[in-house]
Amino acid sequence: MEEHTRIPYSKYLMVWFALVLFTGVTIMVAGLQVGGWSTFAAIFIAAIKGTLVLFYFMHLRYESGLFKLALTVAMLTLAVIMALTFADVSFR
Amino acid sequence: MTAVAIPHIEEHHDPEGSRFGMWLFLLTEILLFAGIFLLYAVYRYQFPEDFHYGATTLHTLVGAINTIILLTSSLTMVLSIAKLVRGDRKGAVVMLGATIALGLSFLVVKIFEWGDKIGHGLFPGSEELMEHTAGENMFYGLYFGMTGLHALHVIVGLGVLAVMLYRLARKPRMTVRLPAPGNVALSLASGDGRKLWDGTADADVDGVEVSLTYSKNEEMLDKEVTRLENAGLYWHLVDVIWIFLFPFLYLIT
């Protein structure tokens, strides 16, 4: 069974607790009415939560560099698509 | 009658390659949803007031409850895999069952939420929405489109998890198919050459299928862990997508 990483249950519980906590934080921040910052905060917190799930629940942290490279390439592709779309939409 | 010796069965098992294949598929899923998120972002940029108004009509509490449900289902999913890795088949089944139950509750909440909106005449193409602004039409169109596509993924995920539950709950087994032209005589011998059983199949068959049911499960465990891990990866991705959907649709006002 060496192929499969054993991670203590407590670590999973901690990640879950952090995820629930961040959900509370993101709802609280949305209620503050801080204008343009609320969008930024929502995306930022969602990114943290997503990263936690990817790295701990989906074990990305314990996978080889190939997995991380594949995700990076996908994310960069996404960033390019988004940047180009907004460059188009904003300056029409 | 020709005797057909059972060929040596090579076990090709590559957990990492198998997981990488799953990851590649998940990356295409991320790009699929990202395209719709981009659509949402562009229209929100064009109709800020309408999207602001639209978000205030959604119930934050209901969205938050569903967020917690999905996050918890991800926890039970990962615990199910952790239990199976440790050889605790029963524990894995219980945790997987909990994951399925949580996924179903997510869908039930979603049905009530959609029902409430549809009850108020707010659904794409409704007469009520025709009298609203173009921006509001875009918002509700994207709301139903995005949560609908996500719910579809939850349903597919539940199907995959149900198959995994069935596979884990039954006794571990392996089935081998062997070609056999014409009548076959079957004999079973142990690894050290002792004859265990003899038999014949008089019917004219074109092959036989041998099913082995293990009393000890170590032999099969490794493959099953990989399958459960891949099912789990899919389930977690559905969770990640919801993590982004929730603030975009319910919170950003």
Query: What is d(CA B224, CA B219) in angstroms, rounded to the nearest whole number?
Result: 10
pTM for this model (two decimals): 0.84
3-state secondary structure of B58: coil
**H/E/C letters for each residue in B129-186?**
HHCCCHHHHHHHHHHHHHHHHHHHHHHHHHHHHHHHHHHHHCCCEEEEEEEEEEEEEE
The alpha-carbon gap from B32 to the nearest alpha carbon of chain A, in Å, equals: 10
- On whether any CB of chain A is under 8 Å from the CB of B32, the answer is no
How high is the ipTM of this complex? 0.92
DSSP codes, A68-90: HHHHHHHHHHHHHHHHHHHHHHH
- Residue B75: Cβ-neighbour burial (10 angstroms; 0-12, 13-18, 19+): buried
Chain centroid to Cα B113, Å, comes to 23
What residues of chain B, 1 to 20, have a C-beta less than 8 Å from chain A?
15-16, 19-20
Q: Which of B43, B251, B252 to mutate to test the interface with A (most CBs of A within 10 A)?
A: B251
- Which chain A residues touch B42 with a CB distance below 8 Å? 85-86, 89
pLDDT digits (tens, 9 = 90+) for B9-29: 666 778 899 999 999 999 999
pLDDT in tens, B210-232: 777 665 556 567 888 999 999 99
How confident is the model over A11-51, as pLDDT tens digits?
999 999 999 999 999 999 888 877 778 888 899 999 999 99
Angle ∠(B18,B21,B27) on CA atoms, nearest 5: 145
B76 — contact with chain A (CB < 8 Å)? no
Average pLDDT, chain B: 87
Q: How does pLDDT run across A67-89, given as a tens digit for each residue? A: 999 999 999 999 999 999 989 98
Compute the Cα dihedral for B121, B122, B125, B129 and give only its sign.
Answer: positive
CA distance A72 to chain B (A): 10
Enumerate the residues of chain B whose CB falls inside 8 A of the CB of residue A19: 71, 74
